[in-house]
Amino acid sequence: MVIRIFFALVTLAVLGLAIGSLVYILEEVEKPKVAAAREIKEAAPPKPIDPGIREYKAALKLAKNRQLAAARDKLRYIIRYFPRSERHQMARNLCSEINLDLLISPNFVEGKKDYEVVSGDSLSEIAKKHETTIECLKRLNGMMDFKIMPGDHLLTRSLNFKVSVDTKRKTLTMLEDGEFFAEFPVIDIRLPGKLRPPVQDTVRSKHALAGKSTLITTQRGYDLAPKELRFSRRGLKIVGHKQKESEDQLVQPGIIMDPTDVEELTMLLRVSTAVHIL
């Protein structure tokens, strides 16, 4: 009986020591660690607010309500002042789409003028006089051919863009009066010979490719054929190429882009437009 009591007391003592040790560890070791971690967490700066997200949501709302000019201005604000925003690239993409829609919309009159055709006029002469392109005149006025008559009224829209090709980002960017207008992705950039960036050149001519023949703007079949823009430097041009086509089908050399984007560029870029390759 005495032995049992003795062992019971010893067990209680050991248990007491264990509990005491645990309490000591919790109070003196773990508790300070938890407190220190809490202090670090509380001291950590909060994630900065991205104002570009708020502005982009506002631009989307305006676009959905067909207030395209206001939406464009909001997107330009993001592009200019919030280059690190999560919505920056999305703003560039949407702004490009809106600007192209507004450009060819007869209902949006900003930057457009009404011109009355006179005897002896041609689309090429009107385009040159108003610093635009034949392709833009046709799309803006819903024309299927080149026929015009004295007394006809045409909407005109000058096209004066600053164009740059970024070889690192693989983009072609257009500015108008210092403001973002549009940006297009570039598939590949293969400069001729030993030519290396930076390069400054100008658009010398625009052609359509019909089999082994090339067509100029006013020739039959031009509208439906694949396009290319040729620069003053021999061998330098913007050409279309579909992503799904094999690498060995790429035209050498050139600034390789999606054919749909090249089609847009033939409308937007006048002959003599300067292009900077960076």
Three-state SS string over the chain comes to: CHHHHHHHHHHHHHHHHHHHHHHHHHHHHHHHHHHHHHHHHHHCCCCCCCHHHHHHHHHHHHHHCCCHHHHHHHHHHHHHHCCCCCCHHHHHHHHHHHHHHHHHCCCCCCCEEEEECCCCCCHHHHHHHCCCCHHHHHHHCCCCCCCCCCCCEEEEECCCCEEEEECCCCEEEEEECCEEEEEEECCEEECCCCCCCCEEEEEEEEEEEECCEEECCCCCCCCCCCEEEEECCCCCEEEECCCCCCHHHCCCCEEEECHHHHHHHHHHCCCCCEEEEC
Enumerate residue ranges in the chain where pLDDT < 70: 1-45, 242-252
CA R_g for the chain: 33
CB 197 within 8 A of CB 203: no
Tokens for 144? Answer: 């299927």
159 and 270 Cβ atoms separated by less than 8 Å: yes
Strand partners, 69: none
Cα separation, 20 vs 272, in Å, equals 89
Measure the CA–CA gap between 97 and 104, rounded to whole angstroms. Answer: 11
CA distance linking residue 216 with residue 229, whole number of Å: 11
Q: Whole-prediction pTM value?
A: 0.78
* Cα angle for residues 161, 98, 148 (degrees, 5° grid): 65
pLDDT value of residue 25: 46
Q: What is the mean pLDDT of the chain?
A: 83
Which phi and psi (to 5°) does residue 116 adopt?
-95, 125
